[in-house]
């Protein structure tokens, strides 16, 4: 009983029955077998060779022998049964030819039933081949994904800068899938080879030496395979290169969408992506044409070989009776599959080889060797640097030279110096991320294992999960520890403003947190780490002065007073509290000692600190929060209802709507009134011709076998060949038409989605993970580009083949309707029951992939933090969980397919057996000759195959239409409205001439169901003035700036610039008339020049001038390539301050009349800050400036200060009119 359950995959039946009663959910799906869990890979990993692509591919097959051996055994069994079919065809038709009598009728019936059984058993064996092969595919995916993720967690800084995130994610998705597909490809090649040898051997048996001619043709065409393989490799690599480039461009644009919106670069981004897309489609078109031509070439082989074999047989004077003809047709019909699929097999094998090469190249990238064994004791750890020198790869000089520092256990060290001096590089060395060129680093006391470390970078690393999980970071912490962490990091007050408390979801990259909040979350996480050494890289740059004092008092010199602290900082107010201070300039330690000693003995530092005094405000007292109240509320914050920023991925339920199919059909052609009907008619006509002409071929031979005296054998064979040429020409034209239309559909849908996404408001990007958007532009677009056209073509062909087979059988044997009708009813019930769960599970499978890739991408962006916290194992466990979930969805998907496909051969077998009985009886009663019997028998044998493939391909279309659903959703996103209130007359071409801003009764809310954030604010900014915007966190400062750029539209009131309501100005014109220097500097992968002038709108002299004004020209000149020097993805090869200075230069180039600065100089040193303030006053003279400030020095020389509180303007005064206490209160 268990044998039959396994044979027919009966374990899936409960799920199929459940799908009849409701829309199934993820929890209803099949449990994942233990051997498919990524954490429990039962494979000897030592057997897998990572030396070369070929070695990797074949060693995977050997290592997966527990799956590949039974898989190939089932495949060979299916092939043997398939080879038996022509034997029974020969015996069956031969019996009919000899005349069916009462004595020979049982023999004919036995052969006919045997034909049906062979078809049924062969089909059943194939399903077990797929079952085992797909398990091998999943285990291979687990192996590759695990290896890629583990390697990525060890990736060196050099390798990380060299490899773009998009490319690395492609290794895990596309390349991994292609390599994992190789065991299936190899199985198909084994079976194809076996069938070819078997067919040739049987030809020798049935037509003798005439088979030599067929063999000669096969060997003559063999070199074509090698040529096609090389051609496919070249074209596939070319297409993948363009696809990677396009996905990378989209990834960069989505990661920097605010910059794209601020500078109105949407059209430029779309143009850049579209240009690469055109190159990709050109390569895709060439590759597809090669696939079509080679596929038809291989298909022609079966026709050509049969033609030559029969022609030589006739030329030799041998008899061509119905038994010989239909036996040969049956034999060469077995070759149509292998030869027809050979081009795709070569393409898949090529993809696997290319994928293996790309994966191995990535796996050979440098890793960092950082010990994961930590010290068990909790005592503080000191460190000692001796003659330490660092040099970045490719640099001609050291970034740090001969550094000697001794930091006793439990002491504090401040590192200060100008931007680009090497401060952050020193921290990277202490973390083990950069190996010293000379010198050594020792931890004291020396003990086994590395110290327990915590690192807070300049740009805080935030994970897209809850605030609580961001704080815990895989650690088990108590409520009291959480309370202390929140108190010490000054997050308690912020926590009360979040409705979800600690359960509040933090958006991707902390999109719903301010810069200061992100830094404080990172500090709280570091506190919960209970470190022995803390490394802080300018952690106070994004917080206000009052919060800085609190953080120093509570955390840096409070809770961490016994912890070794190494702090890089541009904020110098608290240097006197550090045990040691080192001043670095030009990569060398210029001074070292206490703050007082440095001021006296180090002239460069004294000058540096003197500039600090000019740019900073006075220190002031901090005001501790009520810790008793915090303790009382921590339980409430833990129990608060989760609030989410990220929206669940869109997923339709139920059958795919007809409108989705129509969207795809519409995208195949133009917009003309008769274009779509004409395209559909052409496609249908082509498919009909391709289906009917092969029938005509076989029907002609059937006719000839019964009228041999009327036709010369060679003439009859010639007519067969002529019809064969017509079949090939028709197939070529049909495939090329589908190819052209399919690529056009992919282009149309991609372009529409690109325009829709780039036109979407910023709120869409805040609630949608970048990984999800990229999935639409990668996997879903690929589904339309590559697969959907072939699926539609195959579906139409299968449907017509089934219709032709039924018409042929019923036309010759009307009584067969009593068999076919009930069997077809059974078939309808089976396919109905199958399609319900199949489409839902496919949707689950598609949705489950995104979290895996999103987690991988997120991990790549925080490698240094992950390694410093020793959390690689925790991230690995999270990855296992997401991969297991995805595996479960895919397992359920292919098991449902096996359930259906194991039953369809029974339907086909019943029809074959019933047809054989009908043919035998018809021949017995003299109403059917042997030729007609052979024709009907052949079509009844192929009937089940078309039924099975037809439903499979229809289900495949339905599942792939989920890609169309998602593309349609992203193509119809609510867009930004360019003009809300049209002007009575055209806008002045010179607008804005002066930069006068008038805000009147401005009311703003983020959504209709949310409260107002701005509650009718009114103020005026004179042209050319400098205005500071101050207020507590959450007061509405950022909302006002978003309203200024129209990221959020006003509910009431207006913002006018030079007398023109901004709601009346086209968005592109408005945003190009403004410029912003953001708090988080965002750079693109490319060169320094194209980061400043991405679309070549300015001359080299203008770019050089901007760099000079931003104090970056000297640094740029020192680089080997100057302005053409490479900027790594996200600017990783530049310091935070250097990135900020480049953003300032970018703003200088725009020559905008209104400039917005959001704490833009927080990450630069005091000398550069002083210089920048001077540059701002001179280069931006006469320009209206709006400045969000956390520092007194930043707004000290403003013309006026607008204080916003709780969404209302509290006061508008000059800086001198504010008391010290009022400004401090508003800067929190």
Query: What mean pLDDT is predicted for residues 88-107?
Result: 87
Which range among 228-242, 294-308, 945-959, 1161-1175 shows the weakest confidence by mean pLDDT?
1161-1175
Q: Which two tokens stand for residue 910?
A: 């019943």
Instruction: Quote the pLDDT of residue 230.
Output: 66
Instruction: Quote the pLDDT of residue 1196.
Output: 76
Indicate the average pLDDT of the chain.
Answer: 84
Query: What mean pLDDT is predicted for residues 700-707?
Result: 77
Position of tokens 């011709």? Answer: 689
Query: What mean pLDDT is predicted for residues 1194-1207?
Result: 85
Structural domain includes residue 858: yes
Instruction: Judge whether residue 308 has pLDDT over 60.
Output: yes
Between 1167 and 1226, the more confident residue is 1167
Q: Which residues contact 1085 (CB under 8 A, 6 or more apart)?
A: 164, 248, 252, 1127, 1128, 1129, 1130
Instruction: Judge whether residue 59 has pLDDT over 70.
Output: yes
Whole-number percent of the chain with pLDDT over 90: 30
Residue pair 1134/439 in contact (Cβ under 8 Å)? The answer is no
C-alpha torsion 815→817→820→823, nearest 10: -110
Beta-bridge partner residues of 385: 405, 441
CATH number of the domain bearing residue 845: 1.20.1560.10
Query: What mean pLDDT is predicted for residues 962-968?
Result: 87
Instruction: Judge whether residue 1191 has pLDDT over 80.
Output: no
Residue pair 40/34 in contact (Cβ under 8 Å)? The answer is yes
Beta strands of 432-560 (E only): which ranges?
438-444, 453-456, 533-537
Query: What mean pLDDT is predicted for residues 462-476?
Result: 89
Q: For the chain, what is the radius of gyration of the CA atoms?
A: 36
- Pick from 241-245, 490-494, 1066-1070, 1133-1137 the range whose average pLDDT is largest: 1066-1070
Burial environment of residue 640 by CB neighbours within 10 A (0 to 12, 13 to 18, 19 or more) = middle
Domain match, 493 and 361 both = no
Q: 299 falls in which pLDDT band (50, 70, 90)?
A: low
Domain match, 762 and 894 both = yes
Instruction: Judge whether residue 636 has pLDDT over 60.
Output: no
Distance CA 294, CA 307 (A): 19
Q: 1078 falls in which pLDDT band (50, 70, 90)?
A: confident
Instruction: Judge whether residue 622 has pLDDT over 50.
Output: no
Instruction: Quote the pLDDT of residue 652.
Output: 53
* Cβ burial 1093-1128 (10 Å sphere, 16+ → b, else e): bbeeebeeeebbbbbbbbbbbebbeeeeeebebebb
Residues in the chain: 1228
Which range among 746-760, 866-880, 925-939, 1039-1053 shows the weakest confidence by mean pLDDT?
925-939
Count Cα neighbours of 930 within 13 Å in the Cβ-side half-sphere: 26
Between 412 and 92, the more confident residue is 412
Whole-number percent of the chain with pLDDT over 70: 89
Instruction: Quote the pLDDT of residue 275.
Output: 93
Query: What mean pLDDT is predicted for residues 138-160?
Result: 91
Residue pair 437/390 in contact (Cβ under 8 Å)? The answer is yes
Instruction: Quote the pLDDT of residue 620.
Output: 36
Instruction: Judge whether residue 211 has pLDDT over 50.
Output: yes
Angle between helices 675-706 and 713-758 (to 10 degrees): 160
Domain match, 135 and 281 both = yes
End-of-domain residue from the set 916, 936, 971: 971
Distance CA 80, CA 194 (A): 9
Between 1101 and 644, the more confident residue is 1101
Instruction: Quote the pLDDT of residue 1222.
Output: 60
Q: 705 falls in which pLDDT band (50, 70, 90)?
A: confident
Instruction: Judge whether residue 1156 has pLDDT over 50.
Output: yes
Between 340 and 574, the more confident residue is 574
Q: 420 falls in which pLDDT band (50, 70, 90)?
A: confident
* Cβ burial 387-414 (10 Å sphere, 16+ → b, else e): ebbbbbeeeeebbbbebebebbbbbbbb
Count Cα neighbours of 1019 within 13 Å in the Cβ-side half-sphere: 21
Residue pair 904/948 in contact (Cβ under 8 Å)? The answer is yes
End-of-domain residue from the set 942, 971, 1000: 971
Cis peptide preceding 1178, ω within 30 of 0: no
Between 818 and 343, the more confident residue is 818
Structural domain includes residue 1169: no
Query: What mean pLDDT is predicted for residues 645-649?
Result: 52
Stretch (H or E) spanning 852: helix 817-860
Instruction: Quote the pLDDT of residue 627.
Output: 44
1026-1030 β-sheet, strand order: 1074-1077, 1154-1158, 1184-1188, 1026-1030, 1200-1205, 1208-1213
Instruction: Quote the pLDDT of residue 621.
Output: 36
Taking only the tens place, the pLDDT of each residue in 966-1019 is: 899 999 999 998 888 888 788 888 899 999 999 999 999 877 777 888 999 999
Q: 52 falls in which pLDDT band (50, 70, 90)?
A: very high
Domain match, 196 and 336 both = yes
Instruction: Quote the pLDDT of residue 637.
Output: 52
Q: 925 falls in which pLDDT band (50, 70, 90)?
A: confident
Q: Which residues contact 884 (CB under 8 A, 6 or more apart)?
A: 32, 37, 38, 39
CATH number of the domain bearing residue 482: 3.40.50.300
Instruction: Quote the pLDDT of residue 1162.
Output: 61
Taking only the tens place, the pLDDT of each residue in 740-755 is: 888 888 999 999 999 9
* pTM score over 0.75: yes
Cis peptide preceding 931, ω within 30 of 0: no
Structural domain includes residue 597: no
Structural domain includes residue 286: yes
Please choose, from the candidates 1180, 1216, 1222, the residue with its C-alpha nearest in 3D space to the C-alpha of residue 1198.
Answer: 1216
Instruction: Quote the pLDDT of residue 223.
Output: 66
Residue pair 557/412 in contact (Cβ under 8 Å)? The answer is yes
Instruction: Judge whether residue 762 has pLDDT over 60.
Output: yes
Instruction: Judge whether residue 93 has pLDDT over 70.
Output: yes
Q: 531 falls in which pLDDT band (50, 70, 90)?
A: very high
Position of tokens 């000899």? Answer: 98
C-alpha torsion 407→411→414→420, nearest 10: 40
End-of-domain residue from the set 971, 1005, 1028: 971
Q: 700 falls in which pLDDT band (50, 70, 90)?
A: confident
Instruction: Judge whether residue 129 has pLDDT over 70.
Output: yes
Give SS3 for 99: coil
Q: Quote the number of domains for the chain.
A: 2
Distance from CA of residue 332 to its chain's centroid?
43
Tell me how far CA of residue 922 lies from CA of 87, 89, 258, 320, 330, in angstroms.
22, 17, 77, 23, 22
Residue pair 915/816 in contact (Cβ under 8 Å)? The answer is yes
Distance CA 852, CA 769 (A): 12
Instruction: Judge whether residue 615 has pLDDT over 60.
Output: no
Instruction: Judge whether residue 336 has pLDDT over 80.
Output: no
Domain match, 833 and 943 both = yes
Instruction: Judge whether residue 482 has pLDDT over 50.
Output: yes
Instruction: Quote the pLDDT of residue 544.
Output: 74
Q: What sections of 208-265 are H helices per DSSP?
A: 211-255, 257-262
Q: 628 falls in which pLDDT band (50, 70, 90)?
A: very low
Structural domain includes residue 987: no
Structural domain includes residue 605: no
Residue pair 1220/618 in contact (Cβ under 8 Å)? The answer is yes
What are the φ/ψ torsions at residue 688 (nearest 5 degrees)? -65, -45
Structural domain includes residue 827: yes
Domain that holds residue 297: 2-39+50-366+693-971
Query: What mean pLDDT is predicted for residues 850-877?
Result: 90
């Amino acid at each position: 009983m268990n044998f039959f359950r396994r044979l027919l995959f009966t374990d899936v039946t409960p799920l199929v029955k459940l799908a009849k009663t409701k829309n199934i959910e993820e929890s209803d799906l099949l449990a994942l077998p233990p051997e498919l869990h990524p954490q429990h890979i039962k494979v000897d990993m030592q057997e897998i060779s990572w030396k070369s692509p070929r070695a990797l591919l074949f060693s995977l097959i050997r290592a997966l022998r527990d799956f590949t051996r039974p898989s190939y055994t089932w495949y060979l069994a299916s092939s043997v049964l398939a080879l038996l079919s022509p034997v029974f065809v020969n015996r069956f038709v031969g019996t009919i030819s000899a005349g069916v009598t009462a004595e020979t009728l049982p023999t004919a019936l036995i052969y006919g039933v045997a034909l049906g059984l062979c078809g049924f058993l062969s089909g059943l064996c194939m399903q077990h081949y797929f079952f085992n092969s797909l398990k091998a595919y999943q285990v291979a995916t687990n192996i590759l994904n695990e290896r890629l993720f583990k390697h990525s967690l060890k990736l060196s800084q050099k390798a990380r800068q060299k490899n773009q995130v998009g490319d690395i994610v492609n290794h895990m998705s596309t390349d991994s899938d292609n390599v994992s597909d190789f065991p299936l490809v190899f199985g198909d090649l084994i079976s194809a080879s076996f069938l070819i040898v078997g067919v040739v051997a049987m030809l020798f048996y049935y037509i003798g030496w005439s088979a030599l001619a067929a063999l000669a043709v096969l060997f003559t065409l063999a070199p074509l395979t090698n040529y096609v393989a090389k051609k496919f490799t070249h074209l596939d690599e070319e297409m993948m290169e363009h696809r990677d480039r396009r996905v990378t461009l989209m990834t960069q644009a989505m990661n920097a969408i605010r910059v794209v919106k601020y500078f109105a670069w949407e059209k430029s981004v779309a143009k850049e992506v579209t240009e690469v897309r055109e190159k990709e489609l050109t390569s895709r078109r060439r590759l597809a044409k090669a696939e079509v031509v080679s596929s038809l070439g291989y298909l022609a082989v079966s026709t050509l070989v049969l033609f030559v074999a029969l022609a030589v047989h006739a030329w030799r004077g041998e008899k061509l009776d119905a038994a010989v003809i239909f036996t040969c047709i049956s034999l060469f019909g077995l070759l149509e599959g292998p030869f027809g699929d050979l081009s795709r097999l070569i393409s898949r094998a090529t993809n696997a080889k290319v994928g293996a090469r790309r994966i191995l190249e990535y796996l050979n990238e440098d890793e960092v060797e950082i010990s994961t064994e930590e010290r068990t004791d909790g005592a503080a750890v000191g460190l000692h640097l001796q003659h330490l020198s660092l040099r970045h790869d490719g640099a001609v000089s050291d970034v740090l030279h001969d550094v000697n520092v001794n930091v006793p256990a439990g002491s504090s060290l401040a590192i200060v110096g100008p931007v680009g001096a090497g401060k952050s590089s020193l921290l990277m060395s202490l973390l083990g991320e950069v190996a010293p060129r000379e010198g050594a680093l020792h931890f004291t006391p020396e003990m086994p294992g590395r110290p327990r470390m915590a690192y807070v970078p300049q740009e805080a690393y935030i994970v897209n999960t809850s605030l609580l999980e961001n704080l815990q970071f895989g650690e088990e912490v108590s409520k009291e520890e959480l309370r202390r962490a929140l108190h010490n990091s000054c997050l308690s007050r912020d926590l009360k403003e979040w409705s979800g408390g600690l359960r509040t979801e933090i958006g991707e990259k902390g999109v719903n947190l301010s810069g200061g909040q992100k830094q404080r979350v990172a500090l709280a996480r570091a506190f919960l780490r209970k470190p022995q050494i803390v490394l802080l890289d300018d952690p106070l740059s994004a917080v206000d002065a009052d919060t800085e004092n609190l953080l120093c008092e509570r955390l840096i010199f409070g809770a961490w007073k016994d912890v070794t602290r190494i702090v890089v900082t541009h904020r110098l107010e608290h240097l006197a509290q550090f045990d040691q201070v080192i001043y670095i300039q030009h990569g060398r330690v210029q001074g070292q000692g206490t703050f007082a000693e440095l001021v006296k003995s180090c002239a460069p530092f004294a000058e540096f600190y003197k500039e600090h005094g000019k740019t900073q405000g006075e220190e002031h007292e901090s005001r501790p929060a009520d810790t008793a109240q915090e303790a009382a509320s921590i339980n409430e914050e833990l129990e608060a209802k989760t609030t989410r920023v990220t929206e669940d991925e869109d997923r339709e339920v139920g059958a795919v709507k007809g409108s989705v199919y129509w969207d795809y059909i519409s995208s195949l052609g133009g917009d003309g009134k008769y274009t779509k009907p004409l395209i559909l008619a052409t496609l249908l006509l082509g498919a009909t011709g391709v289906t009917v002409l092969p029938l005509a071929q076989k029907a002609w031979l059937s006719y000839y076998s019964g009228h041999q005296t009327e036709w010369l054998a060679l003439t009859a064979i010639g007519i067969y060949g002529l019809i064969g040429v017509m079949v090939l020409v028709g197939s070529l034209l049909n495939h090329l038409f589908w190819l052209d239309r399919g690529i056009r559909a992919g282009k149309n849908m991609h372009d529409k989605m690109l325009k829709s996404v780039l036109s979407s408001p910023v709120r869409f990007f805040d609630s949608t993970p970048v990984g999800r958007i990229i999935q639409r532009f990668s996997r879903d677009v690929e589904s339309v580009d590559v697969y959907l056209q072939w699926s539609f073509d195959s579906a139409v062909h299968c449907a017509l083949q089934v219709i032709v087979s039924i018409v042929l059988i019923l036309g010759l044997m009307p009584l067969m309707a009593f068999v076919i009708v009930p069997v077809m009813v059974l078939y309808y019930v089976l396919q109905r029951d199958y399609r319900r769960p199949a489409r839902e599970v496919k949707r689950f499978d598609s949705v489950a992939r995104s979290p895996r890739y999103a987690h991988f991408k997120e991990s790549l962006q925080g490698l240094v933090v992950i390694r410093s916290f020793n959390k690689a194992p925790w991230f690995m466990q999270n990855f296992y969980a997401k991969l297991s979930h995805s595996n479960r969805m895919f397992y359920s998907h292919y098991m449902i397919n096996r359930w259906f496909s194991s039953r369809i051969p029974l339907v086909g077998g019943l029809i074959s057996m019933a047809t054989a009985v009908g043919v035998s009886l018809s021949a017995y009663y003299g109403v059917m000759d042997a030729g007609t019997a052979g024709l009907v028998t052949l079509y009844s044998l192929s009937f089940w195959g078309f039924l099975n493939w037809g439903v499979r391909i229809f289900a495949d279309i339905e599942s792939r239409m989920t890609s169309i659903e998602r593309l349609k959703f992203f193509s119809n996103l609510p867009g930004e409205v360019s003009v809300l209130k049209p002007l009575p007359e055209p806008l002045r071409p010179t607008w804005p001439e002066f930069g006068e801003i008038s805000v009147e009764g401005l009311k703003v809310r983020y959504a209709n169901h949310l409260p107002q954030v701005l509650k009718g604010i009114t103020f005026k900014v004179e042209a050319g003035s400098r205005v500071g915007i101050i207020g507590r966190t959450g007061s509405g400062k950022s909302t006002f700036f978003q309203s200024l750029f129209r990221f959020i539209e006003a509910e009431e009131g207006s913002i006018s610039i030079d007398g023109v309501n901004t709601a009346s100005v086209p968005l592109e014109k408005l945003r190009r008339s403004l410029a912003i220097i953001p708090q988080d500097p965002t750079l693109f992968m490319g060169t320094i020049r194209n980061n400043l002038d991405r679309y070549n709108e300015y001359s080299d002299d203008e770019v050089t001038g901007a760099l000079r004004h931003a104090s970056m020209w000297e640094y740029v000149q020192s680089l080997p390539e100057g302005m053409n020097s490479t900027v790594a993805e996200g600017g990783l090869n530049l310091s935070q301050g250097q990135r900020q200075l480049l953003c300032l230069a970018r703003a200088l180039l725009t020559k905008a009349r209104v400039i917005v600065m959001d704490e833009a100089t927080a990450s630069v040193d005091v000398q550069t800050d002083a210089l920048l303030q001077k540059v701002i006053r001179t280069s931006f003279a006469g320009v209206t400036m709006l400045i969000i400030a956390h520092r007194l020095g930043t707004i000290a020389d403003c013309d006026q200060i607008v204080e916003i509180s709780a969404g209302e303007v509290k006061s508008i005064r000059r800086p001198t009119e504010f008391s010290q206490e009022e400004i401090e209160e508003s800067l929190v």
